[in-house]
Chains A and B, each alone.
Chain A
Amino acid sequence: MSTASQTGEIALDVRGLRRTFKQVVAVDNVTITVPRGEVFGLVGPDGAGKSTLIRMMATVLAPTGGDALVFGKSVRTESSKVKPRIGYMSQAFSLYRDLTVRENLEFFAELRGVPRKDMASRSAKLLEFSGLTEFAKRQAQFLSGGMKQKLALAATLISEPDLLFLDEPTTGVDPVSRREFWRIISGLHRQGITVFVATPYMDEAERCDEIAFMTQGRIILRDTPAGMKARVPGRVIEVDVSDYRAAMPIARSMPFASSVEVSGEHLRILVTRADDGVEADIRDALEAAGLRVDRIRPVATDLEMAFATLIPTATLPDRTIDDDILAVAE
């Protein structure tokens, strides 16, 4: 998309990265490359190992096996050369609550060796950029959730990193702030910064150049959002039905339905038949069961449906282990 990504320079080269916590394998031989300038999305269920993977790439956690090269430097043996080029925003708010917005920014600027002459202009720019200028003197603990996340991002950006690791940066943030947050990420993308972001939200994944799906410590799919959707065999029919719970088993029993999902109040059925008669058949089957069909129409495949069909159910985790719990247990 940007010029940097077209030169083919590799920002991140992960080779067989692995991490175990006692008996549990959190990250299992992950290999991915991320071209410079890309916004790369990592999606997957809780406990898939996303945070553990990011923490290893961000030099916070030591790998058990394998390696990750950040602009050609190993996180294992050259972490001091990796650190100046990366920014890392963890899932939990990780700034000082009793320091003001400006003090937090200045602290991380000093810590990361931002030249003194640039400090004032950079923090002013970042405050402006994140809409925090008027809260500069407020202690971080008194900011709203969305503002906290923007401050954390600003603190991460103060050293102008070339590669940014964001671990579920918008979890627990209101929709307006989420949109604003992604507007900032788009801005970074235009500046040529490589962004590696883990997200549980499919609409956010949709905005990435490429996405990888991770489950049980492994990356099992990797493609562009469009490519992911194109892989889905068949079309999606969306049905508004009076009782979608009751409609689910009926839809599943239809021979041409390969997948049935509930999205909001809608029922989404992936059908393998290409003919137009399929809508009528669905309506008939549901009405025969005494359900009222309010609306039925074909819709574009979304990522949710793509993952639901593309990921073999056997690979989904049978137990949910939160990365944070693992981190504490170590």
Chain B
Amino acid sequence: MRRIYAIARKEFIHIIRDPRTMIAVLIMPLLQLFLFSYAVSFDVKDLPTALLDQDHTAISRQYVDALKQSNYFTVTHNLTASSEIDGIFDRNQARVVVVIGPGFGDSVAAGRAGAVQVLIDGSEPNSAQLGQAYANGLSRIFGAKVAISQAEASGMDPAQAGGLTAKTRIWYNPEGKSASYLVPGLIVLLLTVMTVQQTANTLVSEKEQGTYEQLVVSPIHRIELMIGKVMPWAVMAALNIITISAIGLLVFRIPFRGSVALFALASFLFVLCVLGLGLLISARSSSTEVANQLAMMISFLPAFMLSGFVFPLASIPPALQGLSYLFPARYMTVVARTIFLKGGGWDVLWPQIAALAVYAVVVITLSALLYRERS
């Protein structure tokens, strides 16, 4: 116990006395949080839009006005022929082209569905997806409005009236605010990167400094050494979870709908997992460079690509989906989003939490076994 405390205390001194570590641990996560949330926002606003109105009726102009007022689209070009569309996309002058076909006004007036073609530049998938959703939503609202006024004028049952063809979409996140789904995922990503990176370095840097041999000649059990080394990082990780969550709630106004206790439990297990991963790297790396590279590979990439943080896991190739089970970020991302946004509890999250618990036990045991006392 005394030896564990001595190691932990020494590690704290290392952290506190090294400005680079302090920045990496306390400032970087916050910086990244703001960067991701603002700069890499997935929110789409003011999509540059080109319009091709082939109908030229009062109703088509009404639709165009609704589009313009929506904030989501900024009409930058008014086209006169469909042959211009390719050029607009090629020169990146617009991401969306809305084509109102001839007869649109007549169809709506006649109580039938008016066809609007929405062409979207798919080269930026996020804007494409969201732009499509906005256009559909817009059509629906507009369609309903048109249909209702038509029905009133002709004394028909509104439900029977025609409208614009529209798809409905269900939002967990009604405003489509990306911070809400970014921040819970970011907690997982930032924590993985910081913890794995730092713990990966702890044992290796002792080896490089030559202090490792002094630890080896001391009567200290490897488990004591590992616990002592990991303790300060567990504290740092907890600090990070709290600050990032607090900023998420207070600055980005994301909701927290679930149980704090459940989130704390899952976070604790998750931190054990990433600490274990770091130790695993540290036990087997020959130098800090190797450790850093391994840490990057094992922490950042999977936590970014294979956690569902950016790409929904269902939409990635099956082989990568299988691979994603090997990294704890996948489970924790689900837990964090479910607790923050949906308020889900133990009944829905137990498989993920169980997975984290098993993962933690396996990875810590493995790193203890792989860590050799003597070379």
A interface list, Cβ under 8 A from B: 55, 58-62, 79-80, 83-84, 86-88, 90, 92-99, 103, 107-108, 110-113, 139, 155, 327-328, 330
Interface: B214 (CB within 8 A): yes
Chain A residues, CB < 8 A from B211: 94-96
Interface: B44 (CB within 8 A): no
B:1-43 near A, CB below 8 Å: 2-3, 5-7, 9-10, 13-14, 17-18
Among A83, A94, A103, A112, contact of B210 (Cβ-Cβ < 8 Å): A94
Interface: B215 (CB within 8 A): yes
**Is the CB–CB distance between A93 and B210 below 8 Å?**
yes
**Is the CB–CB distance between B209 and A97 below 8 Å?**
yes
Chain B residues, CB < 8 A from A58: 213, 217
B:204-251 near A, CB below 8 Å: 209-211, 213-220
CB of A119, distance to nearest CB on chain B (Å):
11
Q: A61-B375, A83-B219, A112-B219 are in contact. Are A90 and B210 (CB under 8 A)?
A: yes
Q: Closest 10 A-B residue pairs measured CB to CB? A: A110-B6, A94-B210, A92-B210, A62-B374, A98-B17, A83-B219, A111-B218, A88-B217, A60-B213, A94-B214
Most chain B C-beta atoms within 10 Å of own C-beta, residue among A93, A111, A328: A111
**Is the CB–CB distance between A111 and B209 below 8 Å?**
no
Among B9, B13, B286, B375, contact of A98 (Cβ-Cβ < 8 Å): B13
9 contacts between A and B (CB under 8 A): A80-B219, A84-B219, A90-B210, A95-B214, A107-B9, A110-B2, A110-B5, A110-B6, A328-B286
Among B13, B219, B286, B375, contact of A99 (Cβ-Cβ < 8 Å): B13
CA separation between A95 and B211, bound complex, in Å? 6
B interface list, Cβ under 8 A from A: 2-3, 5-7, 9-10, 13-14, 17-18, 209-211, 213-220, 286, 374-375
Excluding A59-B216, A87-B217, 9 further A-B contacts by CB distance (< 8 Å) are A55-B213, A60-B375, A61-B375, A83-B217, A84-B219, A94-B214, A96-B10, A110-B3, A113-B2
CA separation between A242 and B356, bound complex, in Å? 80
Chain A residues, CB < 8 A from B219: 80, 83-84, 112-113
CA separation between A86 and B213, bound complex, in Å? 13
CB of B316, distance to nearest CB on chain A (Å):
40
Most chain A C-beta atoms within 10 Å of own C-beta, residue among B7, B18, B210, B219: B219
Q: A60-B374, A94-B209, A113-B3 are in contact. Are A107 and B217 (CB under 8 A)?
A: no
Q: A96-B211, A99-B10, A103-B13 are in contact. Are A83 and B218 (CB under 8 A)?
A: yes
In the complex, which residue of chain B has the Cβ closest to the Cβ of A156? Answer: B214
Chain B residues, CB < 8 A from A328: 286
**Is the CB–CB distance between B213 and A88 below 8 Å?**
yes
CA separation between A139 and B18, bound complex, in Å? 12
Among B14, B220, B286, B375, contact of A96 (Cβ-Cβ < 8 Å): B14
CB of B22, distance to nearest CB on chain A (Å):
12
Interface of B, secondary structure class, is: helix
CA separation between A196 and B180, bound complex, in Å? 65
CA separation between A79 and B9, bound complex, in Å? 26
CA separation between A275 and B7, bound complex, in Å? 68
**Is the CB–CB distance between A90 and B7 below 8 Å?**
no
Q: A60-B374, A61-B375, A96-B10 are in contact. Are A108 and B218 (CB under 8 A)?
A: yes
CA separation between A87 and B211, bound complex, in Å? 13
CB of A92, distance to nearest CB on chain B (Å):
4
**Is the CB–CB distance between A111 and B7 below 8 Å?**
yes
Q: A94-B209, A110-B6, A113-B2 are in contact. Are A88 and B214 (CB under 8 A)?
A: yes
Among B13, B213, B215, B286, contact of A111 (Cβ-Cβ < 8 Å): B215
**Is the CB–CB distance between A59 and B2 below 8 Å?**
no
Among B2, B18, B210, B374, contact of A61 (Cβ-Cβ < 8 Å): B374
CA separation between A95 and B218, bound complex, in Å? 13
CA separation between A270 and B3, bound complex, in Å? 57
**Is the CB–CB distance between B374 and A59 below 8 Å?**
yes
**Is the CB–CB distance between A94 and B2 below 8 Å?**
no
CA separation between A99 and B17, bound complex, in Å? 9
